[in-house]
Each structure stands twice: as C-alpha cells, then as structure tokens.
Amino acid sequence: MVGQIVFTLLVLLTFYIAFRKYTVIWRNVNLGKDEEIKGDIGERIKNVLLIAFGQKKMFKRFIPALFHFFIYAAFLLTQIELIEIFVDGFFGQHRFFRSGLGGFYTFLISFIEILSVLAFVATFVFLARRNLLKIPRFHMDEMTGWPKLDGNLILYGEFILLVCIFTMNGADEVLHQQQGLGSYNFAVSSGLGPMLFGGMSESSLHILERAGWWGHILMVFAFIIYLPFSKHLHILLAFPNVYFSKLTPRGEMTNMPEIMNEVKGMMGLIEMDESAMDSGEELPKFGASDVTDLSWKNILDAYTCTECGRCSSVCPANITGKKLSPRKVMMDVRDRADEIGGHLDANNLDSVKEEEKEKATTLTKENFDDGKSLFDYISNEEIHACTTCNACVEACPVMINPMDIILQLRRHEILDLAAGPSDWTPMFTSIENSGAVWQVPDDRDKWTKS
C-alpha cells in the first residue's frame, strides 16, 4: 500500500512539474504572429505518417538512420510495457496483463527485449560517434557547453533505462523459476537472468527486481521532466511541426501586400491611393527583427530542432567556411524566445517600451522591449552568407525551415534599416530604376514597343 501511495504521489508531482514547463513552451511558441495554415489535410496527414512517424527523411543517411530506428522503435514499443508498469504501480499488481494476454504477452515482451538489445547497441554507437569518432557536425561552434552535454545526457539516460529493464526482467525470471512457476520464456531475459542472477537468494532477487522496476519508472519520470529543457523535445513536437509545415514549393516567399501593391502602382497595374500615402500613417514593419515578428510556426520550428546538424553539414556557405550555420539560427531563435519568456514570467517592467512605461502594469509581448533583438544573436554576416539554395530545408528530417527566418531577417535589414552588404546596393538601385538586376541604358520593356 505504501508503494502505491509513493508511486501515485510521484506521478502527480512529475506531471505537475512537466505541465508547468510545457505551458511555458506553448506560451513561447505563441510569442510569434498568427500564421494561417492552408493546404490539403490529407497531404498533411501523409507527411506525418511518412516523415514524422515513418522517419522517411532520416534514411537519406542509412547507417545512422538504422541505429536511430532501433532506439525509436524500442521507445515506441516500450510504452506498452510502461502502461503495465503504471497499472501495476497504481493497483499494486505484478505483470497485470500476463494472465489476460497469455502467449501474446510472451511474444510482446520478447519483441520489446530484442529491440531493447538493438537500442543498447545503438546507444553505444551514438556515444562513440559523438565522443570518439567526433563527427564534424556534432562539434561545430554552437555545439559546446549545454548542447554537447544534452546530446550525451539522453544517451546516458537511455543506457540506464535499458539496464533497469533487463535487471527487472532478469531477476523476475530467476525468482519465478525458484518459486517453481517455470520460465517466462522471454527472448533475452530468460537466458540473461539465470546467467547474471542465478544462485542468488530469493530476497536478493526480489530487491533487484524492485530496483529495476523503480529505476525504470524513475528514469521515465526524469525524462518527462527533462524533455522540455532538451533538444529531445522533438520526440513530441516533430508530429505537429510536420503537420503544419508549408505545402507550397520550398523557397517560396510570403508576399507582403504593402510592397506588392506599391510595385503594382509603380507599374500602373493598379491605381495608387494618394490620400492614404499622404495621411501620415505609420509604415508597416517589414520582415522580422525579433522573435515576436516571426510566426508561431517559425518558433515551433525552433523548439522542434533536433540539433542533428544535417542542415549545417549540407549548407554550401558553411561548407566553404562562412559563418552561417542554419542549426545555430534555429537554436538562437529558441534561446531568444526563452529569454523573452523569462522576462514575461518575471513581469520585468524594465523591459517595457519607453512610450508605454507610464501606463504599463503587466509585461506582454506587445509592450516588451529590452533593447535587444535577434540581431544580437544572429549576425549580419550569417544572414548575408545564405545562398537561399534550400539545402537546409531539404536535409531536415522534421521539415524545419531555417531559410524562412533568414529571409525575414534580411527583409527587415534591407527594407526597414536600409542596410545590407555594399555589393548588393547597385543591384537594388538598378532594380528600382530600370526594373532589371543589371544596369541597362534603355527601359526594360522597350523591346515590346519596337
């Protein structure tokens, strides 16, 4: 009875802590502007099944994808055993589903054990890739400190989780045999248990089985709490992120009505509203200078980022030694969203816009202004280096679009700040004067009048 009470209290505490953090992330995602999601629902569901659930884009690099699949499949199927652990924990039962499922239960646990062995091997492989082989994309400038530790912590946790599973099943197998109840006939633990724990006393086996059981569930609780602080949040967010990804051709920019109508007016395609131009209305803000200027989908992209570095490893700018790393752009957006969210939680009124300080009682995303922006995280050199080739978008296994954010930062720099690389200025001037990228002596449409 005491065990059931402790288990229930731990479940409630875990989900309370996790819920608070997940609501913070939800709030941070909604720091962005509204974005209308258009497109065929059937196509979106297909993308979720193939890309998020089926890991389709991962298999462009077969070997790491295969090992990732071992861990992924083990993670999914272990949830079935986890359900039983929850039932046993709440009601004080032991292997609650075994009597009802019979032989299928043996098959199910055996299959989970085989996948767990493969996941065990994959865990060592990934630790070696990160720390011994030192794959270049895991050792770029942005992957120092917490990002590097985070990548290893989850693998250490996976290792502990698997050890606990086999300790629990192995000790239970030997205990079952000693009590004259025969063998569970599980694929791995029926052989591994007697080999490791054979000859131990019944009390020792019972302690080991409980240690494995509690160790497993405590690691699960720790994982649930840890997830919102980690890049492994993509385990949850990959599915909605893929679903809400744009179905339009990659690289297609969102039109700005203000600019489009201005150009149409200059070309005589529509009549210009002179009264609106002379009314002194404040010009709209073009592009994005901060997280609050991006869309909620851009911020969801940032929180979904797996930090795998596939985007940066195929980026031609990065490959040729330029400063741009698409992965860093996504990490910077997430860090900036966390920073703004922290100010909002603290209701730090020192971060209120100057013109609203007298009437402000609550800090909101509308009046927030700490004097910083995304340009304090992402340098002009980085956004200028982007060739808009879409290699990063194509490489991302969960359909994140770093290029969209880079283009919005460029828009703001060029249209609002009237800045940009000096070698771009002649091109802009030429387009403005003659409608062509290259300076030509005649009007661009002169050939239509001859």
pLDDT at position 267: 63
On whether residue 55 sits in a domain, the answer given is: no
Closest by alpha carbon to 382, among 409, 417, 415?
409
DSSP state, residue 295: B
Residue 192 lies in a domain: yes
DSSP string, 86-115: HHHHHHT-SSTTHHHHTHHHHHHHHHHHHH
Q: Does residue 347 contact residue 41 with C-beta atoms inside 8 Å?
A: no
pLDDT recorded at residue 222: 94
Q: Which of 432, 417, 402 minimizes the C-alpha distance to 304?
A: 402
Cα distances (Å, whole numbers) of residue 255 to 8, 225, 260, 382, 388 = 53, 40, 7, 23, 17
Q: Can you give the pLDDT at residue 210?
A: 92
Q: What is the pTM of this model?
A: 0.88
276 shares its domain with 217: no
Count of positions (residues) in the chain: 450
CA distance 422 to 439: 16
d(CA 221, CA 169): 20
Residues 388, 366, single domain; the answer is: yes
In a domain, 346, yes or no: yes
What per-residue confidence (pLDDT) applies to 365? Answer: 85
Q: What angle do CA 289, 293, 294 make, to 5 degrees?
A: 105
Distances (CA, A) of 240 to 112, 214, 227, 244: 27, 32, 16, 6
Of 243, 268, 300, the residue that ends a domain is 243
Does 399 map to a domain?
yes
- Domain assignment of residue 183, yes or no: yes
Tell me what pLDDT residue 354 has.
Answer: 73
Give the number of other CB atoms < 10 A from CB of residue 359. Answer: 8
Q: Does residue 51 belong to any structural domain of this protein?
A: no
Same domain, 8 and 116: yes
Instruction: Give the residue carrying structure tokens 């000859």.
Output: 199
pLDDT at 179: 85
62-91 vs 103-131: helix axis angle to the nearest 10? 130
Contact (CB, 8 A) for 297 and 122: no
Q: Taking the CB of residue 194, how many other CB atoms lie within 10 A of it?
A: 15
CB–CB of 32/302 below 8 Å? no
Both 284 and 409 in one domain: the answer is yes
b/e burial code for range 382-413 (CB count within 10 A of at least 16 → b):
bbbbbeeeebbbebbbbbbbbbbbbbbbbbbb
Same domain assignment for residues 271 and 362:
yes
Overall number of domains in the chain: 2
SS (H, E, C) 225-294: HHHHHCHHHHHHHHHHHHHCCCCCCCCCCCCCHHHHHHHHHHCCCCCCCHHHHHCCCCCCCCCCCCHHHC
Q: Please state, in angstroms and rounded to a whole number, the distance separating the CA atoms of residues 164 and 212.
A: 4
* Phi, psi of 33, rounded to the nearest 5 degrees: -75, 160
Kindly state the DSSP code that residue 33 receives in the 8-state scheme.
B
pLDDT in tens, the chain (450 residues): 788 899 999 999 999 999 999 999 999 999 999 988 888 899 999 999 999 999 999 998 899 999 999 999 988 888 888 888 898 889 888 888 888 888 898 999 999 999 999 999 999 999 999 999 989 999 999 999 999 999 899 999 999 999 999 999 999 999 888 888 888 889 999 899 889 888 888 899 999 999 999 999 999 999 999 999 999 999 999 999 999 998 888 777 777 776 777 667 766 677 766 554 555 556 678 889 999 999 999 999 999 999 999 999 999 999 999 999 999 999 999 999 999 999 888 887 777 777 776 777 888 888 888 889 999 999 999 999 999 999 999 999 999 999 999 999 998 998 888 888 888 878 877 877 777 777 776 666 677 776
Q: Do 206 and 295 reside in the same domain of the chain?
A: no
- pLDDT the model gives residue 282: 64
- The verdict on 126 and 157 lying in the same domain is yes
Same domain membership, residue 395 and residue 271: yes
Provide the token pair at 370: 């700490």
Phi and psi at residue 229, in whole multiples of 5°? -95, 0
Q: Is residue 380 part of a domain?
A: yes
Answer yes or no: do 235 and 355 share one domain: no
Answer yes or no: are the C-beta atoms of 171 and 212 closer than 8 Å: yes
Contact assessment for residue 324 and residue 318, using Cβ atoms and an 8 Å cutoff: yes
Domain termination residue (choose one: 210, 243, 276)? 243
- Looking at residue 450, its pLDDT comes to 62
What is the Cα–Cα distance from 155 to 339, expressed in whole angstroms? 27
CB neighbour class for 120 (10 Å; exposed up to 12, middle 13-18, buried from 19): buried
Q: What residues make up the domain containing 151?
A: 2-30+61-243
Residue 250 resides in a domain: no
Q: In this structure, what token pair is assigned to residue 90?
A: 């709440």
**279/237 same-domain check:** no
Q: What is the pLDDT of residue 182?
A: 83
Domain's final residue, options 243, 265, 294: 243
Cα separation, 249 vs 106, in Å, equals 48
CA distances from 291 to 241, 251, 414 (A): 18, 21, 18
Tokens standing for residue 128: 């070696």
Tally of CB atoms within 10 A around 247: 11
Do 226 and 326 belong to one domain?
Answer: no
Name residue 329's amino acid: V
Based on the domain organization, do 186 and 261 belong to the same domain? Answer: no
